Amino acid sequence: MIQKPRGTIDILPDESPVWRFIEDTARKVASNYGYGEIRFPTFEATELFMRGVGNDTDVVQKEMYTFYDRDNRSLTLRPEGTACVARSVIENSLYADSMPLRLYYLSSCFRYEKPQAGRSREFYQFGAELFGAATAVADAEIISLADAIIRNIGIKSVSLHINTLGCSDCRPRYHSRLKEYYKLNISNLCETCRDRLETNPLRILDCKNNDCVKLREGVPKTIDFLCDDCGEHFEILKRTLTKIGIDYRINTNIVRGLDYYTRTVFEFISDDIGAQGTLCGGGRYDGLIEAIGGPSTTGIGFAMGITRLILALKSSDNNIKSKYNENPLLYIASLGETASVHAVSLAEKLRAGGIFAECDIIGRSLKAQMKYADKKGAAFTLILGDNEIESGKAQLKNMRDGSQTPVDINDTDILRRLLGYDK
């Protein structure tokens, strides 16, 4: 048997209503905040991620799915969406439109990571990016969008962690302090981090190697090295979050694993779903557009992993399957050939009116039909035999409570109402 590649998932019909619920909720909330949907290619030039995400990141060094096409171009399956959106903003000159520019996306991403609960090699993100708004109030707005999506999905026990990484003015001071700290402990760093010490010491802070993680205690914090502008930006962000009623905690360990971040970074973390508890991560990236060849344009955004949102939702509500199932199914059972033809035509009529209806199409016995209806979770059933067809009347059975209601099978309006479609 050919199996799916390690670290990928099949989303089966049973599970997909929850996915759609999450995706629809995220889309709806983002639209209310003025975000328009953007879609972009599954693969991009490898250079985009090297320059955008950063050569020293784990994502670029260890996790990308890179291949050469038949023309020997190096291409990479997108490991994340931000660099792709930024590329599209430049290529389509969207920065020339009136600012701010608000975009959202739903996309699969690919990273060669060690699979575990909440971590896969192909995963799905909902992301939002806001360009051309440099203020701390804009940071608060994007954080509030992420917060609103998580709340509207119904996830509980999640907390917002914020930090600031400073800017190109104050970061060099921090980097030299960080280098001093790690040089004293160089023998305990992994080989990759020894190289990073010279090229990009901030990346040592998100290395997953145990020895490097241990060294994090006592490490200097970005927050203590901020220039006045970055300090003020962070203060305004905190004030605005408090004013809009979003709880947060300052977590100086949040440095994010991608190189493009400046100033504000944040994560929404759940304690309920194990080690991979970060549901959403994001931050400001004021230098990204320029780094990949566009005009100086500020940006901030976030992405949330759909699988992790589902895990968190399940942990706070273990009945989600039934809750997010689509419209109630009406199963029309039939006895005999005439009734079977009638059932098909009635099902067609109901579906044309937007009703979710199924009937037997393989000539099963009534008992087998009812068993099937039960397995499919039909909310209602209607049994058609010769009598019902002649009289035009049948009993609509509510499968949840067993009650029966006589109905005129040719009156689709009444059926709609009884099935609960016109609430």
**Region of 26-34, 229-237, 274-282, 289-297 interacting with ligand HAM (CB under 6 A):** 274-282
Residue range at the interface with ligand HAM (CB under 6 A); choices 92-100, 174-182, 277-285, 391-399: 277-285
Say if CB 233 and CB 263 are below 8 A apart: yes
Is 259 a binder of ligand HAM (CB under 6 A)?
no
How far apart CA 218 and CA 214 sit, in angstroms, is 10
Do the beta carbons of residue 189 and residue 204 sit within 8 Å? Answer: yes
Which of 89, 178, 226, 304: binder of ligand HAM (CB under 6 A)? Answer: 304
Q: Does 264 bind ligand HAM (CB under 6 A)?
A: no
Tokens linked to 18 = 């929850």
List 166, 277, 294, 305, residue binding ligand HAM (CB under 6 A): 305
Question: Of 44, 129, 147, 358, which lies in the binding site for ligand HAM, with binding defined by CB under 6 A?
Answer: 129
Q: Is 283 in the site for ligand HAM (CB under 6 A)?
A: yes
Measure the CA angle with vertex 225, ends 219 and 227; round to 5°. 165
In this chain, which of 119, 177, 238, 314 binds ligand HAM, going by CB under 6 A? 119
Partnered with residue 334 across adjacent β-strands are 384
Q: How many helices (H) and strands (E) does the chain have?
A: 16, 16
> Rule CB under 6 A: is residue 80 a binding residue for ligand HAM?
yes
Q: What track of x and - describes contact with ligand HAM for positions 223 through 252 (by CB under 6 A)?
A: ------------------------------
The token duo for 217 is 């205690």
> Taking CB under 6 A as the rule, does residue 139 contact ligand HAM?
no
Strand order in the sheet with 43-45: 43-45, 74-77, 66-68
What CA–CA distances, in Å, run from 386 to 336, 369, 382, 414? 8, 17, 13, 22
Examine residue 303 and tell whether it contacts ligand HAM (CB under 6 A). yes
CB 393 within 8 A of CB 382: no
Chain residues binding ligand HAM by CB under 6 A are 80-82, 111, 113, 118-120, 123, 125, 127, 129, 257-258, 278-283, 285, 301-305, 307-308
